Amino acid sequence: MEPVTTTPAEAPKPVRRRSSTRTALIAAAEAIFDETGSTSVSVEAITRRAGYTRGAFYSNFRSVDEVFFAVYEQQAELVFELLSDMLGDARSSEQPTLDDIVRGVVEGLPPEEKWYAIRSVLITRARHDEEVRMLLTAHTDHFHDTLQPLLVECLSRIGLHPVIDPALFTRAVVAAHVGAVSQSVLHADTQRVRVAAVEGCILGLTRGAASA
């Protein structure tokens, strides 16, 4: 009778530890950006801030660009969750109004310039780095593709329909908001500008009669 052989159980992978390390590195990179407004930092600066080694960094990220993309991606996920909630409220309302939808967009999209500043840095890098360009393009397309049906459905409930391709319409509305937020460096209160920009873009690129 042949002896029974057993295969040693595989050692458990340190998923939780790696996840917490990644989270700490992302938080450190975000804190450095908050202080300096720049992504031109060294791996050592991030690991020193997070309390980890270079080896820990490269176990989670291939480059500084990648960790800052993770910062942007993490913020973008939170933005979309909030935006979905805000537009969801307008969509579930018995009698939504244009004001409800505009408020949902304005309060759902972030007013903080930091989110857009990181994106601007990534766009600049994307001009010279094909990998960054592909990552940013895929992420942006996914964001707009997911937002589009929410926004278009909300507007259809008040009788407004885009006069251009819905995908282009959605990008235009987001761009109008981004442009308004960029003025926050020069003006303390951009809330009214944000509302006017989003509402003007919607009314200018739709047809139908909206409820007041």
Q: Given this model, what pLDDT does residue 7 score?
A: 44
Looking at the chain, the domain(s) classified CATH 1.10.10.60 span 14-61
Q: How far apart are CA 102 and CA 91, in angstroms?
A: 12
Q: Which of 32-36, 125-129, 148-152, 206-210 has the lowest mean pLDDT?
A: 206-210
CA distances from 103 to 39, 86, 108, 151, 198 (A): 32, 8, 8, 12, 9
Across 77-86, 122-131, 150-159, the highest mean pLDDT is recorded for: 150-159
Question: What phi-psi label fits residue 133: left (phi over 0), alpha (psi between -120 and 50 degrees) or beta?
Answer: alpha
Looking at the chain, the domain(s) classified CATH 1.10.357.10 span 63-207
Does the pLDDT at position 98 exceed 50?
A: yes
**SS3 call for 206:** strand
Q: Please, which residues have CB within 8 angstroms of residue 127's CB and are 6 or more apart in sequence?
A: 133
- Note the CATH architecture for domain 14-61: Orthogonal Bundle (1.10)
Tokens of 184: 């926050």
Q: Given this model, what pLDDT does residue 184 score?
A: 65
- CATH topology for 63-207 is Tetracycline Repressor; domain 2 (1.10.357)
